[in-house]
Amino acid sequence: MADSKTFTLTNDATGESFKFPVIEGSYGPDVIDMRKLYESTNMFSYDPSFTSTASCPSAITFIDGEKGQLMHRGYSIEDLAGKSSFIEVAYLLLYGDLPSEKQLKEFSHNITYHTMVHEQLQFFFRGFRRDAHPMAIMCGVVGALSAFYHDSLDIHDLAQREISAHRLIAKLPTLAAMTYKYSIGQPFVYPRNDLSYAENFLHMTFAVPAEPYKVNPVVAKAMDRIFILHADHEQNASTSTVRQSGSSMANPFACIAAGIASLWGASHGGANQEVLEMLAEIGHKDRIPEFLARAKDKNDPFRLMGFGHRVYKNHDPRAAVLKESCHEVLEDLGIEDPLLELAMELEKIALQDEYFVSRKLFPNVDFYSGIILKAIGFPTSMFTVLFALARTTGWVSQWKEMVEDPGMRICRPRQLYTGAEPRPYVALDKRGASTERKASKSAA
Ligand code: ACO
């Protein structure tokens, strides 16, 4: 990173000028180094939802939202989704390069041999209601991993960081499958070491002890591709949550549980569940105009789920790959899903609508993933769990990169204070009706 360029800010009120270094990245936009802003100007920068803030250096993922470009370690997502397996992509994210054959064999072996979870963890599941949302269970059981793997909690020890990263990538499919089994009242299915990552997950999810289960290769390929497409996405809300949590030196299991909590929200990973619910609510293409009108109405909280993205303002490259997979899976399984037709019609109409065109709102990764997952047999409530499973690889890689950065410090943002100015304390017997009115007004 070169830093010979500078950027000058002028305070119009005083005429004072302040120079800040400009840091060049290896590709994409430069950043203005504002670390000395407060010290120099006595003012903070204000960017509450981080639309213009680079929160960290990272060499893992690059996104150009205008071009609709996504790369991991320099490789395009289209190449990775078309040519690599998820386990290769996990290695790439964690270690920076695609693995050699020997490295891939070793890494796959390590992940495979960490897929079992401590037997005691099963008892945690019994504490949850059967109808609990699977993401609620995931927040709990993933956080609980830190109570089982005391030998890998020291974040300053390279070997411990390594093993906890492998444990998380390996155990998430097992926990996700257990969550599903618990919700439908079936026995947990143990992992099998002769299966690939995606095959093993399908086996643990759909097999029952009463009969053999054969993994459909088309479904396994689509599952693997879905995992690749969700593996990492730069500094999104959940990844930033993982980094923020980890910056205080919290253990990686706790940090990933925090990421899962953030991912659950409807504006983020929760959207894939909401897309299917929305399509079911629309029901028929004749009703599309009614729902588009609702999406455009500022007095109606309804949004077209699976549309729009904070960063992509052209197209979401993951959505294009998934649309292709969606047709492949439905064709192979012989499923004619009216929701797919409805989704394609909705996409076509919205992409011609001035409201969506002018705001650069396109289908995002969640728009088609739900239809594939439904075809494979997952209930909608499991969709975000699958996202969390895949994203764990990205979270762990980002966490590791941060902890291994010698410049790591605790993340501690400041604020624009909008509260009361200093005022004298009022004793209880002196607080009158005017204080009560103010209090109830601000609570409203
Ligand atoms: N439907 C209708 N209008 C929308 C939508 C939508 N899905 N998304 C954005 N808009 C409108 C906003 O109302 C706003 O309009 P305005 O300029 O007239 O006020 C404009 O487009 C810009 O939207 P913002 O909310 O400012 O964009 P932001 O970057 O904050 O939000 C987000 C991005 C959260 C993804 C948003 O587009 C959204 O809510 N989409 C639906 C939920 C969704 O699919 N989330 C998944 C995201 S991808 C992922 O996390 C994997």
**Residue pair 87/115 in contact by the 8 Å Cβ criterion:** no
Share of the chain above pLDDT 70, in %: 97
Task: Say what angle helices 134-144 and 252-263 make with each other, to 10 degrees.
Answer: 170
Nearest of 357, 347, 263 to residue 306 by alpha carbon: 347
- List the one residue out of 184, 182, 202, 183 whose CA is nearest residue 192: 202
On the question of pLDDT at 402 being above 90, the answer is yes
User: Does the predicted TM-score (pTM) go above 0.95?
Assistant: no
User: What is the model's pLDDT at position 290?
Assistant: 95
Could you write out the three-class secondary structure of 239-257?
HHHHHHHHCCCCCHHHHHH
| 236 Cα nearest atom in ligand 1 | 50
- Which pLDDT value is given to residue 443? 46
Question: What's phi and psi for 115, nearest 5 deg?
Answer: -75, -25
pLDDT band per the 50, 70, 90 thresholds, residue 435 = low
Q: Look over the chain and give the mean of its residue pLDDT values, rounded to a whole number.
A: 94
Atom of ligand 1 at shortest range from CA of 298:
13
Pocket of ligand 1 (CB under 6 A): 267-269, 271, 295, 303-310, 359, 361, 364-366
> For 391-419, what is the mean pLDDT?
97
The closest of 155, 167, 121 to 140, measured between CA atoms, is 121
Burial class for 354, CB neighbours closer than 10 Å (0-12, 13-18, 19+): exposed
Say yes or no to pLDDT of 424 above 50.
yes
Q: Which residues are part of the catalytic machinery?
A: 309, 366
pLDDT tens digit string along 53-63?
A: 999 999 999 99
pLDDT of 233 strictly over 50: yes
Nearest CA to ligand 1 atom 9: 308
Q: pLDDT tens-digit profile of 237-293?
A: 999 999 999 999 999 999 999 999 999 998 888 888 889 999 999 999 999 999 999
Residue of higher predicted confidence among 335 and 216:
216
Expressed in angstroms and rounded, the spacing between residue 347 Cα and the centre of ligand 1 is 15
Contact between 141 and 121 under an 8 Å Cβ cutoff? The reply is yes
In this structure, the residue with its CA closest to atom 14 of ligand 1 is 359
pLDDT at 438: 62
Supply the pLDDT for residue 444: 45
| 334, burial (CB in 10 Å: exposed 0-12, middle 13-18, buried 19+) | exposed
Residue of 138, 103, 86 whose CA lies nearest to 269: 138
Quick one: pLDDT at residue 317? 93
Closest ligand 1 atom to residue 316 Cα is: 48
